[in-house]
Structure 1
């Protein structure tokens, strides 16, 4: 483990990097929930056109590219070099421009504080040793009054049964060992981290993914996957 990085997590995603844009692979759920995530961000920032956006933990670029296609100037950062290479190649193929960089959120926060109108960090907090450090960095990177959006997994029996046992071992939607239940965060815990970093929680929404229909909807049920939107104090 180096800095705020779990080397085993990086290796795990590097092994799967070539599958990022295969909608029938382990990343199928991410492709399914992406329209809902994108719509949530767009609604809360009043549209992405012309916005300067940072996607922290961008992986293969699923969300980053969709935000760029919606008119934003997007920077995507990740420490998994193979995933970034896939993201860059897909960007060339699609013609949608995203600036991908292999840099940590902490390092970029020191380099370019208060540089972005919107910062997103999706499905990443449960994969790092110190989620608080990521929240702090996101708060530093967004401009005063700007929007920060996180998504992660709640920590309770239902989320363990659905996100770990169901998704990884019963349905095989995700590879076994994808998630460490101990790293899941309750909305109250994430809201407290955000508040400690001068981020005001605006809205919390649950994401429900139906593996049979492949549809994803947002609701007030935050028991498993959830989104939390915050505003940086001016």
Structure 2
């Protein structure tokens, strides 16, 4: 069973929730539409673990956890993980996979803003990966994430930059040429520049301390972290 939230307005686009719910049954298939998430997960996990000084024994929240790929990986590193999402079908898939693998992740159907009121300052690490570009009010998510993290805690975001190159690579290339993602996965207008995200963070009491890019080489089919933040990037903050 997935714990549900109390009724009320939520910062979510019903079309976005439906989009990911329709594909939920394929979440843990590494050859499916979610292949990129499986392939970048080791990079994300290592990056988070390095900057957070390890995950073992820490309380971790994964906001927008989907089917639980990152949440389960962090739990396997010894973290006490809660994964939250507003799409019920992916959470059901995550819960079933948890049972199959014996993972300790707790999944909840709840908005970040609602959980921030319930559990302020409860987490050593909060992650919000590949989610901000799918919500109507990303700044609201950032505020909630900041409230959920403990003083001195670590916060990690990943999203997509907004510029002609990101349109070419993240939409035209990834969705129409290379077929890495289903067409319609992303909307260019919802992309967020690093300066915009940094402003959201600082306004919420977070101090950005690392900006790292993620790139994909279509010839070698390899993802890598580096300095190029033109398309995909990760931003780490301290509370």
- TM-score by length of structure 1 reads 0.97
User: Aligned-pair distance for 1:208?
Assistant: 1.1
Partner of 1:202: 209
* SS class of match (2:172): helix
Partner of 2:6: none
Over the aligned positions, Cα root-mean-square deviation in angstroms equals 0.9
Partner of 2:68: 61
Partner of 1:35: 42
Give the distance between the partners of 1:88 and 1:227, measured in 2 at CA. 27
Partner of 1:129: 136
The question of 1:162 aligning with 2:138 is answered: no
The question of 1:191 aligning with 2:198 is answered: yes
Give the distance between the partners of 2:153 and 2:10, measured in 1 at CA. 27
1:28-177 residue pairs with structure 2 within 5 A?
28-177=35-184
Structure 1 unaligned spans of 5+: none
Give the distance between the partners of 2:123 and 2:102, measured in 1 at CA. 23
Q: Could you list the structure 1 runs, at least 4 aligned residues long, displaced by more than 4 angstroms after superposition.
A: none
Please say if residues 6 and 129 of structure 1, whose CA atoms lie closer than 8 Å, have aligned partners that are also in contact.
Answer: yes
Give the distance between the partners of 2:184 and 2:124, measured in 1 at CA. 35
* SS class of match (1:30): helix
Please say if residues 32 and 214 of structure 1, whose CA atoms lie closer than 8 Å, have aligned partners that are also in contact.
Answer: no
For these two proteins, the number of residue pairs brought into alignment is 231
User: Aligned-pair distance for 1:96?
Assistant: 1.5
* SS class of match (2:30): coil
